[in-house]
Chains A and B, each alone.
Chain A
Amino acid sequence: MTRCDRHQENITALADGALGILATLRLHLHLASCRVCAAVADARRSAVAVQRNVLSAPVEVDCERMLAEARRAIAALGEPTPFPFLRAADRRGATPWNWAVLAGVGGAAATAGLFAWLVSPSTVLVPLGLGAPPAVVASKPELFRDYEIIRELDALEHFDSVNRVRLEDSRPAATKQRRRT
């Protein structure tokens, strides 16, 4: 590294305000005698001045205009809703998704209502052990478990005898007479 190289490093440090007093004096003595380093120092100084001007230049921001635009954008979003997808559908101006969601919710509610109407809650909860069976069922569980068999008991006891029966013609007598003639 030459002597001038070391001084040019100091020029940068001086521009940044990071050079000590003695080193500053030494650098100024050198600049007075070295035209090359003096030119470098001038160039560095003007560059730093330009940077300072750029950084200290006032930035013009129209806060009022930005605020007004933000208000308009918020107003366009509409009122806050717990169903953002519905609001999104409104914004798009397309309703199929909206209708699909409403139809799904309505369908689920209708199914739940129909289920509750057809099946009492105990029919579902008791089998799962979440409730006691009605007293009649608790006292005669076998009756309700084998209900179909018990209801048809007479026919089932005599199944073969019943099956052997030859069905009598149950058509009205007039029809039979017409058939014979």
Chain B
Amino acid sequence: MTRAALLLFAVIALLPAGAVADEWNRYGPRERYEAMQNYNQHRQLPKQERKNIERQYQRWQQLPDDERAKVRRNYERLQQLSPDERRSFERKYQQWRDHRD
């Protein structure tokens, strides 16, 4: 009985680790390279900013698939903005966030 419980615990503990490793292995060289670059950038951020991003990541994980798809679409729209439009968007966001908070 104890042995079976230990085995079950080991399987439960190792499954997510295996899944994560699989996820990394599924990435192509380009995705891995970008991930490594982002990691290097993340390491250099102040601690508070890193914590904020970790919090955003937790929310990202909780988003349903359709919401994630919408966010990805919006990210593409953001990428297509010209530098002036991008600056304007950032100012608007600051203003919007100030009003919200």
B-binding residues in A (CB < 8 A):
120, 122-124, 126-129, 133-134, 136-159, 161-163, 165, 167-168, 170
Query: With a CB–CB cut-off of 8 A, which chain A residues contact B61?
Result: 142
Q: A153 and B32: CB pair below 8 A?
A: no
Main secondary structure of the interface of B (DSSP, over half): helix
Q: A147 and B38: CB pair below 8 A?
A: yes
Q: Is B51 an interface residue (CB 8 A)?
A: no
A162 to B70, CA, bound (A): 15
Q: How many residues of chain B are within 8 Å of chain A by beta carbon? A: 42
Q: B71 and A153: CB pair below 8 A?
A: yes
**Nearest 4 CB-CB pairings of A with B:** A147-B38, A127-B32, A144-B35, A159-B74
Contact flags B13-34 to A (C-beta < 8 A → 1, else 0): 0000000110110010111111
Q: A126 and B36: CB pair below 8 A?
A: yes
A-binding residues in B (CB < 8 A):
20-21, 23-24, 27, 29-42, 53-54, 56-57, 59-61, 67, 70-72, 74-75, 77-78, 88-89, 91-93, 95-97
A121 to chain B, nearest CB (A): 11
A170 to chain B, nearest CB (A): 8
